Amino acid sequence: MHEDNASKCLKKLRAGKALIIPDISTSDEITFYNNILLENRIKSVLMIPFQYSGNRLGAIGFFSEQNKEWRSHEINILKLFSEHFALAFKHNYIQEERKRLAIAVEQAAEAIIRTANTAKIQYVNPAFEHTTGYSKEEVIGQTPRIINSDKHPKSFYKKMWQILLAGKVWKGHL
C-alpha cells in the first residue's frame, strides 16, 4: 500500500506535473513519506520536476512547517528555479560533450586540421604531427600549403582552397 502511494507521487512528478500538497495529513498522494515529513515538522509540500532533453533529472521543492495553500507566484517562482536547474544541467552536459569531442579528436588515427576562415591553421591533432612530421608549433598560423604534396593535381588544391576560403568544411586526404 505504501509503495502504491509513493508511486502515485512519483508518477505525477515523472509526468512533469507539480506536486502540490497543502496538508500532508489529509493527502493520499504522499502517505509513504508522511511519517518522515511530519517527524521533521513538514506539513505542506510544493515540488516541481525538472528535466533536460526529455530526461527527468529530479525535482525541487518548498516545504512548509504549516498547512499552506501554495499561491500561484510561489508555484511560478519554483517553476522558474526548475527551468534554471535544467539550463544548468544542459550547460554541464554541453561542456562534457565538448570534452569528449576534444578527446576523440586528440585520439583520432586520422590527421585533423582546423583552420580559421582565412585558411590559417589554428589546430592540428597528434595524428597530423605523426603523419606529416610537422609539429603543431611549426604549422599553427601557417596555411595548409605547408603540407602540399605531389600526390594530387593542382585542381585538387584549387578546390580545397575554394572551400576553405569560403569558410566551409573541407574533407579529404592530403
- Cα 151-114-93 angle, rounded to 5 deg: 140
Cell 561542456 -> residue = 95
61 with 99, same domain: the answer is yes
Identify the domain boundary among 80, 104, 128.
104
What tens digit of pLDDT does each residue of 16-67 get?
A: 888 888 988 887 776 667 777 878 888 899 999 988 777 788 888 998 999 9
Amino acid at 19: L
37, 38, 43, 46: CA torsion to nearest 10:
10
pLDDT digits (tens, 9 = 90+) for 74-131: 999 999 998 898 899 889 989 999 999 999 999 999 889 888 878 889 999 999 999 8
Domain boundary among 55, 74, 104: 104
CATH code: domain of residue 157: 3.30.450.20
Which three cell numbers, joined as nine digits, stand for 30?
504522499
Give the pLDDT confidence score for residue 152 in this predicted structure: 79
Same domain for 25 and 70, yes or no, is: yes
With a cut of 70, say whether residue 4 has pLDDT above it: no
Is 171 within a domain?
no
**Cα separation of 119 and 164, whole Å?**
6
